[in-house]
A and B are shown apart, each in its own frame.
Chain A
């Protein structure tokens, strides 16, 4: 499986993502610059964390208009896996590929530490290697991770099982403690915690690795047939 890590001016978790895929997951991965226009030949897209365009205006807002984003949108529409982490999640919200918006953390502080997440839905291409209800440890690092949406949107998210990860404890004011959601089709996942920073014990946790393994496993099941 071949992954694209999209690099924007201001991305700072692109290398973490790249090496998580290359070294820990041992799959193919390439950087794709924000000013390119094609994602041909890729099977999965990763929008990394960081401060695209310096977070000027709003987190993720300006990145939506980068040339590569039309291809990312099409990739998502085609049902292929798109994962946005932290700033990448903010981009997916700004792009309208996921519902809702991000506000400053309730306590107004930048939070940077491992947190416990509850796997709410393990029936997605991103979470099938976890148990439902399993508690995993993945670090967060964000100042604007306070997920906001209206009540109707929240009801839809809950009904469709689109809430994939929830914080075990309220850390930033997010509605319903939401840490990660998918789109209705289930092929786009946005999450504030950083699974790419939890891919080996040395980093404090390897719980994030199974997210990437899930993607690969599900991709193989639908793409590789044995004769």
Chain B
């Protein structure tokens, strides 16, 4: 089994309206040290044993999980041994 953590975020060059709103809220709460907030998505995928896990995950990300026109993605693959 594999456990995969996928992180999808807006590209650095793309303004993030949600992040901006949260940053303003944090500033109102006196957390003025916050310079930037970026909001993204976190997904957990559990996979059965399969060949080419990395290649397949990468395809899943570029085809569906992220919109690569405006989003970046990264992932962590962890092999899980059922106890």
Residues of A within 8 A of B (CB): 57-58, 61-62, 65, 93-94, 99-101, 103-108, 146, 148-150, 173
- Cross-chain contact B17 with A106 (CB below 8 angstroms): yes
- In whole angstroms, what is the CA distance A105 to B15 when docked? 11
Return chain A residues, CB-CB under 8 Å to B14: 103, 148
Cβ of A126 to closest chain B Cβ, rounded Å: 23
- Cross-chain contact B17 with A101 (CB below 8 angstroms): no
Residue of A nearest to B43 (CB): A57
- In whole angstroms, what is the CA distance A94 to B15 when docked? 19
Q: Identify the 10 closest CB pairs spanning chains A and B, nearest first.
A: A101-B69, A101-B70, A101-B67, A104-B17, A106-B17, A148-B70, A108-B21, A108-B17, A58-B67, A104-B18
Cβ of B70 to closest chain A Cβ, rounded Å: 4
Return chain B residues, CB-CB under 8 Å to A94: 67
Return chain A residues, CB-CB under 8 Å to B13: 150
Return chain B residues, CB-CB under 8 Å to A146: 17
- Cross-chain contact A173 with B17 (CB below 8 angstroms): yes
Query: B65 at the A/B interface (Cβ < 8 Å)?
Result: yes
| Contact residues of B between 6 and 29, Cβ < 8 Å to A | 10, 13-15, 17-18, 21
- Cross-chain contact A100 with B64 (CB below 8 angstroms): no
